[in-house]
Each structure stands twice: as structure tokens, then as C-alpha cells.
Amino acid sequence: MIDGSIILERYNAIPAEYEGVLYRGISEYAFQMKGFPPIQPWSVFMKDQKQNIFGGVSGVVMYSSLYIDSLWVDKSLRRQGWGTKLMHEAEKMGRERDANFVTLNTMDWEGLHFYQKLGYSIEFVREGYEGNSKMFLLRKSLR
């Protein structure tokens, strides 16, 4: 039962205290409707001995798929294999959590060729972004 009136509050970022609320709500509904396990957020970070972050990859495992939301490597460490290492670690996490495939989005000016070299194929292209950019939905089987 809802107590009182409902209001909308806007934020420029997800407040830490609300971080898992949406995933929990979606996961509860998915379990109720299909018996699916909960959405599992994950991340891998590159750190030095002082705990400074120089890169990372993050996403979720949901409905037997691994979704990669973000991949970033500091400019000073690019072209040294760190992006590939992060992607392999992400894929390993997906396999450990029984994901059948990986999906991710990238723009035409970002990492399309990088992902294709790792075995990802274009599943969908979305046009209409600023500067005539295109977004690619990529996929790779984990099985």
C-alpha cells in the first residue's frame, strides 16, 4: 500500500543509497514472471599500489547473458593490452555466472574494431546520434 502522495525527484547521478533499488525491483518481477535469478552487477578495475584507478570494465549478468556497460583504460596505458585483459576477465566472469553470450554497445568512433578483433559481431546498428555517429550493438557467444 502506498502511503501518501507520490512525487518525482530528479538526480544527476544515482545516489549511493538507491544504487540497487531498480535492479532489485526488476529482479523480483523477473523471478515472479519467469523464475529468473537476480540481476548481478559486476566490475573489474585496474589499480596501482596506492589504489588509484587506471581503468575498468563493468556491467551486469542477467537472464543468462553478460552485458558490458562500460570499458575504460587510462590514456597512458592504452595500446598495451589492458583493454583485452579487462575484456577477457569480464568474459570469464560471465562464464562463471553461466552466461551464454555477451552484449555491449559502442559508437563508431569508439572501439568497434577493438571488439571485432576480440570476436564480437555486429547485431544491430542505430543511427541518428550527434555528428552523424552510429551506435553498434555487438554480441559474442560464450559457449
Ordered domains of the chain (ranges, CATH): 38-141 (3.40.630.30)
Q: What is the pLDDT, as a whole number, of residue 14?
A: 84
23 class by beta-carbon count within 10 Å (0-12 exposed, 13-18 middle, 19+ buried): middle
Query: What does the angle CA 45 – CA 51 – CA 55 come to, to the nearest 5 degrees?
Result: 30
> What is the model's pTM?
0.86
SS3 content of the chain, % helix, strand, coil (to 5): 30, 35, 35
| Digit-coded pLDDT (tens) for 20-61 | 888 888 888 889 999 888 999 999 999 999 999 999 999 999
Question: Per-residue pLDDT for 10 more than 90?
Answer: no
Q: Which residues, listed in sequence order, are joined to residue 56 by a DSSP beta bridge? A: 45, 72
| Digit-coded pLDDT (tens) for 80-125 | 999 999 999 999 999 999 999 999 999 999 899 999 999 999 999 9
